[in-house]
Structures are given as structure tokens and as C-alpha cells.
């Protein structure tokens, strides 16, 4: 009997091998689950990257402003018998006489007014440093300063008050401390400083929260702000009942 060979095309048409409907459904569901998991991981990773980038930006901006303020505080011993902190300083405004140079004392000094100023957006603030030159009419320690700022510099935008984790209350930008006995007081001087309180100020703590740069700020910037705090000691020894006692001594 002769051998009959089927045409290849006919064999392919009659071949029943392939995927069933159930197998296709299982494969589709599995691919959807894997894709969703991959997208979820990608979304979380991008969110974490954005959060870290924002916090790094806020930290760098805040530390730059803090270093400038600390430099002015550490450069506030400009002449003998002078008081670095001026009356009128309070929790949102610091008046400090400061200058830099190689001389042991200065004939020309600068009054720095560092204060919070509200930005155009409500509840947004910036730290501003206004400089006032002394007129030269009087020498130390009875300085007289110009009523017009010679220079105004924005130290930091997107500033807010740090929040105390325990009390949940806002921490003042500037806090002033004096000696009680042989130790610095743990309780800051409250309210606006008067003459005697300004003279007695031995240390200043600066605290604020810095937000990411304005181009990256959004509704979550509060979560991505960085709290910074530093203290400058202006008087290294407590006042004595006998002998002369001056700031920066």
C-alpha cells in the first residue's frame, strides 16, 4: 500500500496543541500582579528619593543661614566694656553689635538686626539681616547707629518655628539666657529685652525649621522641613560680686 504524506499546511491546521482559555487568564492575572508590584516599588522609591532630596536641600539651606548667624554672634566682642546684645531684642528679632577683623577692638562697628519677616504667602516667613553702621558720634560703649540700613540681606526663605516634641509648642527663633549663680539658667529671659536684661545676656540659642527650596516646596514641605538649633555663648564666666564684669569675658 503506498505511503500517503499529508501536506504540512494541513498538519498545522489540524494540530490541537496550544493554550487553553484558563491558562491565558492565569497568565494575564499573573502579569498584572507583577506589573502592579513593580509599579508600586517604583512609586515608593521615587517618593523616598524626592523626600530625601528635599530634606538634604532644606538642611543645606538652613545650615548656611545658621552659620552666618553664628558667625555674627561669635564676632560680637568688638570692644571692651561693650554689650553685644542691644535692648529691644526679642524672640523674633535679634539686635547684635558685631564686626570682623584682626584688630583687638573696633572703632567702627555694625549693628545687625536679624528678624523674621512674613513673605507674600501667608504663614511663610524669611530670615532677614539688616546692617546699620555706627555714626561715629560716640565711642564704645555708647554707640550710635544710623537709622537707615546700609545693607539688607535675606538669609533664608521658607522659615518656620521648630516644634517642641514634648509640649507640641512652637520654639522661639531667639532665646536669651543669663547666669544664675555659677551656671547658665535653663529658663530663657521672656519678652522683649530691656537694658539690664540685654547686659546680662550670656548666651543666645537660635532655633528654626528650614523648608526645601521654593521651587521644590509643595503641600508636603512641612513634613520635609529640617529643624536646626545652635547656641552661642557670649559670656564665659558668671558675674562676680567683686571686680569688673564685662560681656565676652
Mind listing the pLDDT tens digit for each residue in 106-127? 777 889 999 998 876 656 789 9
Q: Which domain holds residue 213?
A: 43-233
The answer as to whether 122 is a domain residue is yes
Question: Could you read off the pLDDT of 75-101 as tens digits, one per residue?
Answer: 888 777 778 899 999 999 999 998 887
pLDDT band at 15 (very low <50, low <70, confident <90, very high): low
Is residue 177 a part of any domain in this protein? yes
146-205 pLDDT, tens digit each: 889 999 999 998 898 998 888 888 999 999 999 888 788 899 999 999 988 998 898 999
| Distance of alpha carbon 237 from alpha carbon 24, whole angstroms | 83
Establish if 109 belongs to a structural domain.
yes
Given a cut of 80, whether residue 241 has pLDDT beyond it is no
Q: Look at residue 217 and tell me whether its pLDDT is greater than 60.
A: no
Model confidence pLDDT, tens digit, residues 24-40: 888 888 888 888 888 88
CA angle 88, 93, 97 (to 5 degrees): 70
Is the predicted pLDDT of residue 6 greater than 60, yes or no?
A: no
54 lies in some domain: yes
Residue 101: predicted pLDDT: 73
62 falls within a domain: yes
pLDDT at residue number 194? 92
Choose the most confident range, by mean pLDDT, from 38-47, 109-118, 228-237.
109-118
> Is residue 97 domain-resident?
yes
Contacts 24+ apart (CB under 8 A), 97-105: 97/143, 98/72, 98/73, 99/75, 100/71, 100/75, 105/78, 105/79, 105/80, 105/140
C-alpha cell at 151: 545693607
Q: What is the pLDDT of residue 215?
A: 47
Evaluate whether residue 238 is within a structural domain. Answer: no
Mean per-residue pLDDT for 135-146? 78
The owner of cell 526663605 is: 157
pLDDT at res. 76? 86
The contacts of residue 65 (CB under 8 Å, 6+ apart) are 127, 155, 156, 210
Q: Are 66 and 206 in contact (CB under 8 A)?
A: yes
238 vs 147: which has the higher pLDDT? 147
Rounded mean pLDDT of 119-140? 80
When comparing pLDDT for 239 and 170, which is higher? 170
Tell me whether residue 228 is in a domain. Answer: yes
Domain count along the chain: 1
Amino acid at each position: 500500500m503506498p505511503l500517503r504524506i499529508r501536506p504540512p499546511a494541513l498538519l498545522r491546521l489540524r494540530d490541537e496543541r496550544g493554550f487553553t482559555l484558563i491558562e491565558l487568564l492565569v497568565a494575564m492575572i499573573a502579569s498584572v500582579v507583577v506589573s502592579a508590584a513593580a509599579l508600586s516599588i517604583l512609586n515608593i522609591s521615587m517618593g523616598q528619593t524626592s523626600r530625601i532630596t528635599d530634606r538634604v536641600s532644606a538642611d543645606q539651606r538652613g545650615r548656611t543661614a545658621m552659620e552666618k548667624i553664628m558667625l555674627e554672634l561669635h564676632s560680637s566682642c568688638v570692644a571692651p566694656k561693650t554689650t553685644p546684645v542691644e535692648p529691644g531684642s526679642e524672640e523674633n528679632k535679634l539686635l547684635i553689635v558685631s564686626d570682623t577683623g584682626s584688630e583687638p577692638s573696633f572703632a567702627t562697628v555694625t549693628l545687625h538686626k536679624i528678624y523674621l519677616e512674613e513673605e507674600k504667602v501667608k504663614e511663610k516667613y524669611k530670615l532677614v539681616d539688616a546692617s546699620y553702621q555706627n555714626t561715629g558720634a560716640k565711642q564704645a560703649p555708647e554707640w550710635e547707629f544710623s537709622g537707615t540700613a546700609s545693607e539688607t540681606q535675606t538669609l533664608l526663605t521658607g522659615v518656620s518655628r521648630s516644634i517642641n516634641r514634648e509640649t507640641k509648642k512652637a520654639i522661639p527663633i531667639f532665646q536669651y539666657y543669663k547666669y544664675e549663680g555659677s551656671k547658665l539658667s535653663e529658663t530663657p529671659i521672656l519678652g522683649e529685652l530691656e537694658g539690664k536684661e540685654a547686659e546680662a545676656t550670656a548666651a543666645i540659642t537660635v532655633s528654626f525649621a528650614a523648608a526645601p527650596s521654593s521651587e521644590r516646596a509643595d503641600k508636603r514641605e512641612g513634613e520635609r522641613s529640617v529643624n536646626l538649633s545652635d547656641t552661642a555663648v557670649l559670656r564665659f564666666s558668671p558675674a562676680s560680686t567683686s571686680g569688673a564684669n564685662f560681656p565676652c569675658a
